[in-house]
Amino acid sequence: MQKDPEGFERKSLHKFADFANQRVLEVGCGEGRLTWKYAADSSLTVGFDPDHDSLRVARADAPYDMQKNVHFAEASARQIPFVNETFDIAILAWSL
């Protein structure tokens, strides 16, 4: 099975936001499928998800060059473990 080989999702995402040097919060990152489509441009990306197993996959799949600026956390959107006004961009990744 192949998902979005045309890359329409990536194109749409970059059309809607400029991630360069931005601090990004991704809500419902799952296995990080969407994360890898923008995180290289960001100064910091934090993806969180309540699913522990998905996060294990996301961490294992992290490209070497993104390991310093991409972090994953197990959390729910009902209580985001960050202080006020931390991020420039938040992404609801198939999660609303």
Partner 1 sequence: MVHALDEIRRTLKPNGVLIDIRPVEENWPVEVNASTGYQVAGRLTDLPVAVADDEAAFRAMREAESRRWYIKEKEEEFAFFYYWDTPSEMKEFMDEEWEDFEKLEESVFSAVKSAWTMANADARVRVRVKMLITRWRKL
The set of residues, in sequence order, having a beta carbon less than 8 Å from that of 38 and lying 6+ positions away, is 10, 13, 14, 17, 19, 24, 45
# residues near partner 1 by CB under 8 A: 36
Taking CB under 8 A as the rule, which mask of x and - marks residues 32-71 in contact with partner 1?
Answer: --x-------------------------------------
- Residue 74 contacts partner 1 per CB under 8 A: no
Q: Hey, what's the torsion of the CAs at 15, 49, 76, 4, to 10 degrees?
A: 40
Chain residues that interact with partner 1, rule: CB under 8 A: 1-6, 8-9, 11-13, 15-17, 25, 27, 34, 77-80, 82-96
